[in-house]
Amino acid sequence: MSKLEVIQPGMLSLIQDVGRFGVAQLGLSQGGPVDLHAYCWANHLLANSMHCPVLEITLGQASFTAREDTMVALTGADMMATLDGTAQKNWRSFQIKKGQTLKLSFAQTGLRAYLAIAGGFAAQKIFGSSATVMRNKLGGLTKGDGSLARGNKIAAGQLLSAASSNQDRTVCLSVPNHFIPDYGDIIEIGVLPSYQVESFPKLQRERFFQSSFTVSPQSDRMGVRLTGAEIKCDTAGIISEGIALGAIQIPPDGQPIILLNDRQTLGGYPKIGCVSRLDLPKIAQARAGSTIHFYAADIEEKSSQWCEFLGFFNV
């Protein structure tokens, strides 16, 4: 069975599958990969089901040694991967022979890489998912004593095993070039105006769509904070309500926060709309200091693109 030993875990490396659904009414976050596009390609390159757990590696500085011959795929942020010192191209599947070490350096562009293994990483499921949500203390790998996985990031010395070996194949595949995104420093984001958009005066809405915002370093898997023009709303707070993935909430300080996978389930700040689903990976890969421009997107157009995405990956 394929196995990788964690030599260097990196700053934040988390087991993620598509997420934990159906328990938000208990206050549990969905979790899951913040860059769903890169996650799906990583599984797709290995002919894995889209539900197979993958490792989400933030910022890099991680290395793994194969205990057996292992097929993996690497997508997302380019971390200058090397295999026993030889450069490995990103966005492709390749084999790591027994004893070889895969080493990831710092992310060159973007923030997060996705490392998939043929058959998916073996991880216990809790409420139908092994997605790691650190703030909920759920998901991820157990420490080997059979106890419930407690939302820990991976640690040095841990063994990452494949859940099944029957899918092992040694064909190396690459993602076609036009599907490989450029995680640039200037990012255009489609927004579906909704929620409390009517509570933002016209002038404030114009300011939101015409200004540029800067990604704050105080961003994480819960939300990406932006700084820039102050956007003022007629109401300071609303009665707490469900927060959709990608919702853009604007607290009284006027600085938008885009809410991601580990977001709280309910919140009482006004929201101007939601980032379109297929633009969320760009937000997830945006480094501190990146510039963001918003444009008003058409829900029909974005919905049909989302449907195509779901159909292509069968997710």
Partner 1 sequence: MKSAVIKRVSETHVMIYIGDTIAPERASLFGSLCEKIRLEFSAGVIEVVPSYTSIMIEFNLSKISYGTLEAGLTELLGGFEQSAQKIQARVIELPVYYHADVAPDLQTLAEAKNLSVQQVIEIHCQTLYTVCAIGFSPGFAFLGSVDDRIVMPRHASPRLKIPAGSVGIADRQTAVYPDDSPGGWQIIGNCPSTLFSPEREPMMPFSVGDTVRFKSVSLEEFTQQGGQRCPNWK
Residue ranges that bind partner 1, judged by CB under 8 A: 21-22, 24-28, 30, 126-127, 135-138, 148, 192, 194-195, 239-247, 264-266, 271, 273-274, 276-277, 299, 302-303, 306-307, 310-311
Q: Which is nearer to partner 1, 117 or 189 (CB)?
A: 189
Q: Which is nearer to partner 1, 103 or 277 (CB)?
A: 277
Q: Which is nearer to partner 1, 96 or 191 (CB)?
A: 191
265 neighbors 28 (Cβ within 8 angstroms): yes
46 neighbors 30 (Cβ within 8 angstroms): no
Cβ 276 to partner 1 shortest distance, Å: 7
Q: Beta strand 186-193 with 291-296: parallel, antiparallel or unpaired? A: parallel
Q: Give the CA-trace dihedral at 204, 207, 209, 214, to 10 degrees.
A: -120
Q: Which is nearer to partner 1, 15 or 81 (CB)?
A: 15
Residues whose CB is less than 8 angstroms from the CB of residue 210 and which lie 6 or more positions away in sequence, other chains included:
none
Cβ 135 to partner 1 shortest distance, Å: 8
Cα–Cα distance, 118 to 69 (Å, whole number): 11
Cα–Cα distance, 158 to 297 (Å, whole number): 44
Neighbours of 3 (CB within 10 A): 18
Q: Which is nearer to partner 1, 44 or 271 (CB)?
A: 271
Q: Which is nearer to partner 1, 84 or 298 (CB)?
A: 298
18 neighbors 32 (Cβ within 8 angstroms): yes
Cα–Cα distance, 233 to 248 (Å, whole number): 13
